[in-house]
Structure 1
Amino acid sequence: MRAHTSPTRLAETASGADFTVTSATVSDGAPWPPEQYSGIFGVPGGRDVSPQLSWRGAPEGTRSYAVTVYDPDAPTGSGFWHWAVADIPADVTELPEGAGDEAGSGLPGGAFQLPGDARAARFVGAAPPAGHGAHRYVITVHALDVASVGVAADATPAALGFAMAGHTLGRATLTVTGYTPGEPSGPERVEVSRLVPAPASAVFAVLADPAGHVEIDASGMLLGAEGGPIAAAGDRFTVHMDREALGDRPLGRYDVEVVITRCTPDVEIAWTVEGRRVRPHVGHVYGYRLTPTDGGTLVTSYHDWSGVAEEWRRRLVFPVVPESALRATLGVLERTVRRRSAGA
């Protein structure tokens, strides 16, 4: 790769020397190369390769470093942590490209990676939502006055930041950008993700089982299901519903047909729901995408109502299932996968 040598001046030491960080992977203000985008999150060409970093001019008294990569523009209300490395020895002033793989193969002895917001202890590349505009990715080297910052290996980057607050002598920062063209995922689609510590096959086995849909229901509406295992798009099964569990509409108990619209084993499954006495069918879609990653499977649950009939747009408030319910279901899904795996 072509080397870039435009350092960003961030901090002044007591002696007046600049504390700076540079990269042979990307220059300050420039966009990420394709390798630094996230294949874990399904970005075409993304490989989740951490950037090469070099730093110099650390403040006097530095005994260790930490490195973080943070996206303040992620639509989460709290940004998104892509990488966090703690306890880098004071005599180390460089990390090679790819150091942040799942094994931390390029990290020096004593250093370790914390799980970021994807809950994977590794570098997770850029994956800004399509059409959301350019995101900033702030790469920071923190110079600390302790040899070990004293956080657990499973701590969050926020906890690392708290632990560093009283020990930071200086910071050197490099800011790069990332952008995904196309239409935004909203306002007619909601997606949430969770790392489930199990192989994709175990997660898919629950989602391909009609009884599994009842087990992972977080609303209390699903009373039971009838039908065989799902094998392909077009498969159907019956679900017995109880709307009184929500107390919002006087529909009582009724049955619906679940119709599978996508089915790629261990990768993705999606379906729509058809009421037996309702015409036209609403046409909204629920689904799950499964992406194997370090520590298990990144499970993305989505609710898409972009294809809903106009009649239903006037009658219903979308999303019918809010983001909070999708998140709750992912939690129940993890619990169900654990229980099934333990009983296997």
Structure 2
Amino acid sequence: MITANDPFARLPEVASFAVTSTSVADGAAWSPGQLAGKDVSPQLSWSGAPRGTKSYAVTVYDPDAPTGSGFWHWAVSDIPATVTELPEGAGDDGGSGLPEGAFQVPNDARVARFLGAAPPAGHGVHRYYVVVHALDVETLGVPADCTPAFLGFTIAQHVLGRAVLVATAETPGPERIEVSRLIPAPAEAVFAVLSDPKGHVDIDASGMLLDAEGDPVEQAGDRFVVHMDREALGDVPLGKYDVEVVITTLVPDEEIAWTVEGRVRPHARHVYGYRLEPAEGGTLVTSYYDWSEVGAEWRERITFPVVPESALRATLGILERTVRRRAVSPARGQ
């Protein structure tokens, strides 16, 4: 994730207070409703604003947009000090869920409503700063058709405190596939399968993985051996052979990714991975396959992607089944 370009880095420090959302957790990816096309503003609740707060403003800003000035997705002014919550969908065309007196100024698409996230394909993860600003005036006195930047400039002159929640979004590039599935189990149960070498065999939908040897992985750089059967794909006449799986990313209960090193050099360097996010009813699991770093030599030998989107979807279905079975028989696969 991009970590530079903090929108508050050059502003005076102010008090902080709490903001939460049932739509997204701090640091997690937006739900589908908050993406472009759905354009549903997030639910927000806040508490602990500084003494003397007379109104609030709410903004949603993407500092990672490739514009040179970021991108404002939502801006609401003059929320009364007695209000400490906005329902999901409050920022529709008519501001139907906004309290009396509050109003939306046009975002950077020049529409007065919440605009969902839509980062450019392949541009990486974007951050979305969802901010509740506690203000020392009942009204900021800005025109209803002002820009969010002008609203922000005015906010800076009256701000007592900020409550900040950061959501994320990413649009995969043309050399990456992502599919998601809600698995009704806690993240640690899902991660236990994904970090277990034999778990990789259990959930394989391609027919290539015959068996695996090694201890559960604990950090990037860990390795284990997988016995493969390339005949299942029928693309390269390798038959049965062994590869080493090399963990490239490991954040317990949040993300695991790996590449594969075989006997043929140079290694292909395509990456497989899973992201896990808490969600109502279980864990939202995103399976991804990225072949953007594969060199020209391999692109001449093999048609990428090696596995199609349908195989990733099938693997997620098998993953759910495997997690459920291991919950019944914990020793299975260990």
TM-score of the two chains, using structure 1 as the length reference: 0.51
The Cα of 1:287 is off from its aligned counterpart by 0.2
The Cα of 1:50 is off from its aligned counterpart by 3.9
Give matches, 1:255-266, under 5 Å: 255-266=242-253
Unaligned runs of 5+ in 1: 1-33, 52-95, 101-124, 134-179
Q: Partner of 2:42 in structure 1?
A: 49
Secondary structure of the residue that 1:333 maps to in structure 2? helix
Q: 1:329 to 1:127 in 2, by over 3 A?
A: farther
Q: Residue type of the partner of 2:87?
A: G
Check if 1:97 corresponds to 2:86.
yes
Q: Partner of 1:288 in structure 2?
A: 274
Q: Residue type of the partner of 1:98?
A: P
Unaligned runs of 5+ in 2: 1-19, 35-39, 45-84, 90-114, 124-166
Check if 1:219 corresponds to 2:206.
yes
Q: Partner of 1:318 in structure 2?
A: 304
Q: 1:129 to 1:216 in 2, by over 3 A?
A: farther
Q: 1:333 to 1:36 in 2, by over 3 A?
A: closer
Check if 1:250 corresponds to 2:243.
no
| Greater Cα shift, 316-325 or 226-235 | 316-325
Check if 1:268 corresponds to 2:249.
no
Contact 1:260 1:271 in 2 (8 A): yes
Q: 1:243 to 1:190 in 2, by over 3 A?
A: same
Q: 1:244 to 1:227 in 2, by over 3 A?
A: same
Q: 1:182 to 1:43 in 2, by over 3 A?
A: closer
Q: 1:236 to 1:132 in 2, by over 3 A?
A: closer
Which of these residues, 198, 210, 214, is aligned with residue 185 of structure 2?
198
Q: Partner of 2:65 in structure 1?
A: none
| Total equivalences in the alignment | 197
CA distance, structure 1, for counterparts of residue 295 and residue 192 of structure 2: 31
Runs of 4+ in structure 1 off by over 4 angstroms are 34-41, 180-184
Q: Partner of 2:174 in structure 1?
A: 187
Q: Residue type of the partner of 2:274?
A: Y
CA distance, structure 1, for counterparts of residue 308 and residue 268 of structure 2: 16
CA distance, structure 2, for counterparts of residue 255 and residue 206 of structure 1: 21
Q: 1:132 to 1:222 in 2, by over 3 A?
A: closer
Secondary structure of the residue that 2:217 maps to in structure 1? coil
Secondary structure of the residue that 2:86 maps to in structure 1? coil
CA deviation vs aligned residue, 1:114-142 (integer Å, no higher than 9, x gap): xxxxxxxxxxx945454499xxxxxxxxx
Q: 1:340 to 1:267 in 2, by over 3 A?
A: same
Q: Residue type of the partner of 2:293?
A: G
Check if 1:342 corresponds to 2:309.
no
The Cα of 1:247 is off from its aligned counterpart by 3.1
CA distance, structure 1, for counterparts of residue 324 and residue 23 of structure 2: 31
| Greater Cα shift, 316-325 or 246-255 | 246-255
Contact 2:223 2:246 in 1 (8 A): yes
CA distance, structure 1, for counterparts of residue 171 and residue 265 of structure 2: 30
Q: Partner of 1:70 in structure 2?
A: none
CA deviation vs aligned residue, 1:183-220 (integer Å, no higher than 9, x gap): 85221111000000000000000000000000000111
The Cα of 1:41 is off from its aligned counterpart by 5.8
CA distance, structure 1, for counterparts of residue 267 and residue 220 of structure 2: 18
Calculate percent identity across the aligned residue pairs: 65
Which of these residues, 217, 226, 250, is aligned with residue 230 of structure 1?
217
CA distance, structure 2, for counterparts of residue 42 and residue 128 of structure 1: 12
- Root-mean-square deviation (CA), in Å? 3.5
CA deviation vs aligned residue, 1:235-275 (integer Å, no higher than 9, x gap): 00000001122333322100000000000000000000000
Contact 2:224 2:245 in 1 (8 A): yes
Contact 2:196 2:216 in 1 (8 A): yes
Q: 1:310 to 1:202 in 2, by over 3 A?
A: same
Q: 1:181 to 1:242 in 2, by over 3 A?
A: closer
Which of these residues, 198, 222, 227, is aligned with residue 240 of structure 1?
227
TM-score of the two chains, using structure 2 as the length reference: 0.53
Contact 1:49 1:98 in 2 (8 A): yes
Secondary structure of the residue that 1:257 maps to in structure 2? strand
CA distance, structure 2, for counterparts of residue 183 and residue 42 of structure 1: 8
Which of these residues, 188, 196, 208, is aligned with residue 209 of structure 1?
196
Q: Residue type of the partner of 2:205?
A: A
